[in-house]
Structure 1
Amino acid sequence: MRSALKWAGGKKKVVHEIASLLPKRGKTRLVEPFVGGGSVFLNLDFDEYLLIDMNKDLINLFNIIKNQPAAFIADAQRFFTGDNNDSEKYYQLRTQFNQSTDPYERSLLFLYLNRHGYNGLCRYNKSGGYNVPFGRYKHPYFPNAELEYFSEKAQRATFIQGDFETAFTQLNVSDVVYCDPPYSPINPTSNFTAYAGNSFTDEDQRRLVDYAKIAQKRNIPTLISNHYVDFTRELYKGATKKKLFQVQRSISQKGQGRIKVQEILALYK
C-alpha cells in the first residue's frame, strides 16, 4: 500500500529488503523513530505501532487522519481542483499554511502542499516556514484510498512528535525498532538533511547507533537504513548483520542526477 504522501526517500519499493532483515519472532510492536511517509508501517504487520517524527505537521496530520478520517477526506478533497493546481494559488495557500496556527487547517494544507509541491520534498526554512516550490503536475492525485487505509491501520498506532530519543525511552522487550534517519550525504552537493527545519548531523548518526546498542543489550533489535558511504561503513562496523542493495535515488534536480545508489541496512540484535 502506498502512503497518502509523496515522500522523498520513501521506503515503499524496499519494504521487502527491510522485512527480510527485521526480526519478528516474539515481537508484537514496531517502533519507528523516523516514521516519515509511513510506508514501512503501512506494509508490515504488527499488533501495535509506536511512530515518532520530529515534524509536528506530519504527526498532527497522522493523528487527524486516524481520528477524523471522513471529515478530513471530504475537506481535503476540496483543495484538489484545477483552479488550485496553479502556481499563484499554490504560493497563496503556502503562505496561508505558514501563517496558520490551527492544526486542522494546517493538516489540510499540508496534504495539498505535499501533493502539489516539487518532487515529494518536505522542507522548512530556518524560521519554520514551509518553502517547497510548486511542482507543476498536470493532475495531482488525491489519495482517497490511501487515506482510508491509513486511518484503518492507524487504529493500532500511537503517533508522537519528538526526537528519536523519545522512541528509545519507551521501548519494551516485545518491540522491534526500524530507523530511517535523514541519510548521510553521498557527496556535499546532495546533502539534504533539514527536512523538519533542523539538520541531522554526523553526531546525531552516532547518537542513534549508541541508542541501538543500548536497546541491543535489552534484547530489543534495531534496524537502521542509510546510504552506504565511507562514513556509514565505519559507523556500522559493529552491527550484528548488514545488507547492501541498490536503489534509484534523485540526488539533483537534473535528470542525470537520478541514478542508482547503494544503501545499507544495519541490524543490532
Structure 2
Amino acid sequence: MQNKQIVPFLKWPGGKRWLAKKYKEYFPKEYNMYIEPFLGSGAVFFSLQPKEAILSDINKELINLYVIMRDNPKELKGQLVYHQERHTKEHYYKIRDVMLTDNLKCAGRLLYLNRACYNGMYRVNKQGKFNVPIGTKNNFTYDIDQFDQYADCLKHATLICGDFYEIINKAKKNDFIFADPPYATSGKANFTKYNDELFVWQDQLRLHEALVNAKARGAKIVLTNVYCKEIIEMYKNDGFYVHILQRSSNIAGQADKRGKVKELMITSNKKQSKRKEKHE
C-alpha cells in the first residue's frame, strides 16, 4: 500500500522516523498482518501504511489517542484548537496536572502536552502523572488538515492496550512483527522509563522468548534494540541476523551530550540490500 508519505503526528521517546527513512530495505516487502507491540509514534507503521495491522502499547493514554484519531478526527481537531487558543504557561501546567476521564478530552490533552512539552518527551512520576516541563514551541495545530489522512491510515488497524507478549503471540505465518522496545540491558538501565513501569532485563528475556516462538511459526521479524553483547548472543544463538546501526542521539537533555550511538537491528531473515553495514 504505497500512498502519500505520512509523518507521525506524535514525537515519542525512541521514535523511529530515522529508521523508517534510512533503513526501509530491512523490512519485508510482502506480508499478511503488520504487528507492532510497542507503538509509540508509529513511525514505521505510517511509513509502510500496511493494509492490515495490529497496533499495541501498554500505555492506555497513547492507545486512546490513536483510537480517537482514527474514529473522531474532527472532534480531536476541536480539542487541539481549544488548547492552542488558550496556550500559556499557566494553561500548560493546569492541563498537565488535571486528571480527565472523558476519552476525547484525554486524547486532546495528551496531543497538546506532547507538542507543548520540552523536546516531545514522555515521562511520568511514581504516581503515574505526566511531569515534563513546558517547551518553547507555540504552534500545535500545524497539521490539523492532515488529521483525516491519519484517520484513513489507521482505519484498518486494530488498536490494543496490552502486554507485548500477548500481542506477539497473535502473529501467524507470513505476518510481519516490528518490535521497538524500551531499551534495557542486564548490567545497566538504559532509557527504560517508558511509562510508569520500568522495562527491565526480565522483559528483554520475555521479548526474546515471544519472538523466537513467532519465528518458529513463520512470522517475519524486525527488532530494534540497544547495543548489548548479551542481546547479540541471545538472538544469534536462535538463528536471527544481527546488524549494527549508528545514529545521532537526541535523547540527552543537553545538546553537548548528544552524539552518535550504536543500536541493533535484528532480523529473522537475511537483509536483501547491498548496503554495507556492520554485522555480529
Question: In 2, distance between residues paired with 1:57 and 1:251?
Answer: 22
Counterpart in the other structure of 2:95: 93
- Greater Cα shift, 139-148 or 172-181: 139-148
| Unmatched runs of 5 consecutive residues or more in structure 1 | none
Is 1:6 the counterpart of 2:5? The answer is no
Q: Deviations over 1:223-256 (max 9, x none)?
A: 1101223343333333422222211112421111
SS at structure 1 position matched to 2:178: strand
Match of 1:249 in 2: 249
Instruction: Tell me which residue corresponds to 1:217.
Output: 216
Residues of 2 paired with 1:114 and 1:187: CA distance?
Answer: 31
- Matched residue of 2:83: which SS? coil
Name the structure, 1 or 2, with higher relative contact order (CA <8 Å, separation 6+).
1
1:5 to 1:146, Cα distance in 2 relative to 1, 3 A:
farther
Q: Could you tell me how far apart the structure 1 residues matched to 2:193 and 2:49 are?
A: 30
User: Residue by residue, what CA displacement relative to the aligned partner does 1:16-44 show, whole Å, maximum 9, x if unpaired?
Assistant: 4553222233x121100001111111010
Deviation (angstroms), 1:146 = 4.3
Look up the SS of the partner of 1:263 in the other structure: strand
RMSD (Å) for aligned C-alpha atoms:
2.1
**Helix, strand or coil: the match of 2:28?**
coil
Q: State the aligned residue count.
A: 263
Structure 2: any 5+ residue segments left out of the alignment? 1-5, 270-280
Q: Residue 129 of structure 2 aligns with which residue?
A: 129
Structure-2 separation of matches of 1:231 and 1:80: 46
Query: Does 45-54 or 8-17 show the bigger shift?
Result: 8-17
Structure-2 change in CA distance of 1:234 and 1:130 (3 Å): same
- Residues 213 and 268, structure 1, Cα contact 8 Å, conserved in 2: no
User: What is the rounded CA distance, in whole Å, between the counterparts of 2:186 and 2:150 in structure 1?
Assistant: 32
TM superposition outliers: structure 1 runs of 4+ over 4 Å: 185-188
Identity of aligned residues (%): 31
1:31 corresponding residue in structure 2: 35
Give the conservation status (yes or no) of the 8 Å contact 2:165–2:206: no
Looking at structure 2, the residues matched to 74 and 230 of structure 1 have their Cα atoms a distance apart, in angstroms, of 48
1:233–1:171 Cα change, 3 Å: closer
Could you list the per-position Cα deviations for residues 191-249 of structure 1 after superposition, in whole angstroms to 9, with x for gaps in the alignment? 32122211101111111111111011111122110122334333333342222221111
Rounded Cα–Cα distance in structure 2 between residues aligned with 1:12 and 1:162: 23
Structure 1 residues 143 and 186, CA gap change in structure 2 (3 angstroms): farther
The secondary structure found in structure 2 opposite 1:3 is coil
**Quick one: which of 47, 69, 82 aligns to 1:78?**
82
Paired residues of 1:185 and 1:192 also in contact (CA < 8 A)? no
State the alpha-carbon separation in 1 of the partners of residues 137 and 76 from structure 2. 23
2:172–2:214 CA contact under 8 A, matched in 1 = no
Residues in 1 aligned to 2:229 and 2:41: alpha-carbon distance in whole angstroms: 27
- CA shift in 2, pair 1:201/1:230, >3 Å: same
1:45-74 per-residue CA deviation (whole Å, 9 max, x = no partner) reads 422010000010010010011111112112
1:175–1:168 Cα change, 3 Å: same
- The equivalent residue for 2:275 is none
